[in-house]
Amino acid sequence: MAGKLYIVPTPVGNLGDMTPRAIEVLKQVDTVLAEDTRTSGVLLKHFGIDTPMRSHHKFNEHEAVAAVVEHLLGGSVMALISDAGTPGISDPGFLLSRECRRQGIEVETLPGATAFVPALVNSGLPCDRFVFEGFLPPKKGRATRLEELKTQPLTMVFYESPLRLLKTLQQFAESFGPDREASVVREISKMHNTTHNGTLGELVDYFAANAPRGEIVIVVAGCPPAAAVKVDKYAAFKQKKARIEN
pLDDT tens digit sequence for 57-105: 888 888 889 999 999 999 999 999 999 999 999 888 999 999 999 999 9
Exposure of 22 in the CB half-sphere (CA atoms within 13 A): 23
pLDDT for 246 equals 56
Looking at the chain, which residues constitute the CATH 3.30.950.10 domain(s)? 116-230
The values of phi and psi at residue 125, to 5°, are: -90, 160
pLDDT digits 0-9 by tens, 124-163: 999 999 999 999 998 889 999 999 999 999 999 999 999 9
Tell the CATH superfamily of the 116-230 domain.
Tetrapyrrole methylase, C-terminal domain (3.30.950.10)
Q: What is the mean pLDDT of residues 5-25?
A: 95
Class of domain 4-109: alpha beta
Q: Residue 241 pLDDT more than 70?
A: no
Residues of the chain with CATH 3.40.1010.10: 4-109
Question: Is residue 156 classed as helix, strand or coil in its secondary structure?
Answer: strand
As a whole number of angstroms, the distance between CA 174 and CA 12 comes to 31
Helices and strands: H and E segment counts in the chain? 9, 10
What CA–CA distance (Å, rounded) separates 131 from 159?
A: 12
* CB distance 31 to 54 below 8 Å: yes
Share of the chain above pLDDT 70, in %: 91
If pLDDT is split at 50, 70 and 90, which confidence band does 178 have? very high
According to the model, what pLDDT value does residue 244 have? 59
Beta strands in the chain, from DSSP E residues, in sequence order: 4-7, 31-34, 53-55, 77-81, 106-109, 130-134, 155-160, 181-186, 194-199, 216-220
Q: What is the pLDDT of residue 192?
A: 86
Nearest Cα to Cα of residue 7 among 133, 119, 112: 112
pLDDT number for residue 240: 57
Non-local (6+) Cβ contacts of 28 within 8 A are 77
d(CA 189, CA 181): 23
- Residue with the bigger pLDDT between 195 and 242: it is 195
